[in-house]
Amino acid sequence: MGLSLAEVRNKGWKALIKKLEHTDATKFILLYEAGKRNCVEERKELFKETSVEDIVAEIRREKGPR
């Protein structure tokens, strides 16, 4: 029967992260998610496996040395 929608979403997100990193992957997703009903809950689900520390580390990597 194939993957569930949740599994497809999860694998797709991981593939985007692998190629685009979190920031650009998020931008990509946001291009296609405009108009959804409960974006707060969707974002919680989308980032449930990503820690704040991971996001901060990625931002610091992207900004480079100061």
In the numeric block, the tokens 């992957």 are attached to 25
Q: What is the predicted pLDDT for the residue at 39?
A: 73
Q: What is the mean pLDDT of residues 42-66?
A: 79
Residue 65 backbone dihedrals phi, psi, to 5 degrees: -70, 150
Report the pLDDT averaged over residues 57-66: 77
pLDDT band at 24 (very low <50, low <70, confident <90, very high): confident
Domain that holds residue 59: 5-63
pTM, full prediction:
0.48
Number of domains composing the chain: 1
Count of Cβ atoms closer than 10 Å to residue 55 Cβ: 14
Give the pLDDT confidence of 25-40 residue by residue, as tens digits: 888 887 776 665 677 7
Q: At what angle do helices 52-63 and 5-32 cross, to 10 degrees?
A: 40
What pLDDT is attached to residue 18?
92
